[in-house]
Amino acid sequence: MTIQVVMNWTNSDVDLGSGKQLDVRYRVYKEGDRVFQEICEVDGTPIHILELPDALALERSSFEVMLRYAMAEAGRSTVNTAVNY
């Protein structure tokens, strides 16, 4: 199935606490009728892929919220995002 990019890769700094940072990047793409947010470390190591709910799927402001949610679920803490639209 063909992938349609909704938002290209965006870099974010994740605060892991104790002064440690994790650089991540994410993108949003559509595959068929489903929309996904892919989150990776900057070296390309996968962290998480979320299927976005229909209500959030094309709302760019929701992408950062979902990134924070995914990082919290993955055991990471605060996310500081610099979005490059």
Average pLDDT of the segment spanning 70-77:
60
Q: Select from 65, 60, 62 the least CA-distant residue to 85.
A: 60
Quote the number of domains for the chain. 1
User: Full-prediction pTM beyond 0.75?
Assistant: no
Q: What domain range includes position 38?
A: 3-81
Confidence band of 54 (pLDDT split at 50, 70, 90): confident
| Cβ proximity of 40 and 71 under 8 Å | no
